[in-house]
Chain A
Amino acid sequence: MTTLEIFDKLKEKFGDAVLSIITDKPVDHFINIAPDKTDEICLLLRDQEEFQFDSLSCLSGVDNNDGTLTSVYHLYSFNKNHKVVLKVTVNKDAPDVKSVANIWLTANWHERESYDLIGINYLDHPDLRRMLLPDDWEGHPLRKDYEVPEFYNGMRVPY
């Protein structure tokens, strides 16, 4: 099933929560969805017979350098052998996205990494805390406007 067919099927089910499909970029076609309905759409994609996306290949966070953050989901179906890319875009000052950790268990750590480095806040995540950086680190380093701190716990950080 191609991304366009999946987009049409989701559009007739969810209406305004499925925002758009982008096909003109030189990458995989992707579907933009709204941040508050992410978990419902993903539950349908996992459970419905014609989709059967039982595997979340990758979940990443992106800083788009224009005041918005994006959470990207790569889904794959083993039975049907098709894949789709979903993107959820939020503003930097209210970066709330519904978590899919209850749908695909691998999203637990992927969302923790995305929260740690980009700062997207996943709602209803069972255990959202920093994973790679120390627990008392301030800031989200992979944002474009991040500045390296001068000292951390008495150690000088820059060269």
Chain B
Amino acid sequence: MGLLSKYDNPFENSNIIITSVDNLLNWARLSSIWQLGFGLACCAIEMMATSASHYDFDRFGVIPRNTPRQSDVIIISGTVTLKMATRIKKLYEQMAEPKYIISMGSCSNCGGPYWEHGYHVLKGIDRVIPVDVYVPGCPPRPEALLEGLMKLQEKVRHQSIAKKTNGVPAKV
């Protein structure tokens, strides 16, 4: 207030924001995580329910894309058979960095109800691709999937494009 206000709040009432590149980039990325529409089994129904109007994925910026080349996240929803696992690995390799995996449901976390006798079930998708967020449930409720998505957004929020000094490469 007063004579010195233009030094205290120089940008008040104006349209300039000061932030860091990391913050801006991470905010942009987490607000528009595009998913590869990849529903395998029953969890796909819950994923569709999450995308529908009651729980709405779109307000988080998540829209389904048909090709892995244009998507940021695969939500592996449903039982992963060994026959499908080779195809999922190929799709994962076709995605561009930065890419994330959400493992939705019990079957893709750890094999689910087929852990004991399933001779053709892959016991957990993390045996072939690296998973970022696991969402438990059989199937998880839409609110649980949304919480999983928000956890992924938290992870994205703390990324950095600067190289870390301990030799760990940053996600660009």
Cβ contacts B109-142/A at 8 Å (1 or 0 each)? 0010001100110110001100000000000000
What's the A-B contact tally at a CB cutoff of 8 Å?
28
A148 touches B (CB below 8 Å): yes
* Dominant SS among interface residues on chain B: loop
B119 touches A148 (CB 8 A): yes
Chain A: interface residue total (CB-CB under 8 A):
13
List the A side residues contacting B82 at CB < 8 Å. Answer: 134, 152-153, 155, 157
A126 touches B (CB below 8 Å): no
List the A side residues contacting B111 at CB < 8 Å. Answer: 159
List the A side residues contacting B85 at CB < 8 Å. Answer: 155
CB-based closest 8 A-B pairs: A134-B83, A159-B115, A148-B119, A159-B123, A141-B119, A152-B82, A155-B127, A155-B122
B interface residues (Cβ-Cβ under 8 A, vs A):
82-83, 85-86, 111, 115-116, 119-120, 122-123, 127-128
Between A and B, 23 residue pairs with Cβ closer than 8 Å are A133-B83, A133-B120, A134-B83, A141-B120, A148-B119, A149-B119, A152-B82, A153-B82, A153-B86, A155-B85, A155-B122, A155-B127, A156-B123, A156-B127, A157-B82, A157-B119, A157-B122, A157-B123, A158-B123, A159-B111, A159-B115, A159-B116, A159-B123
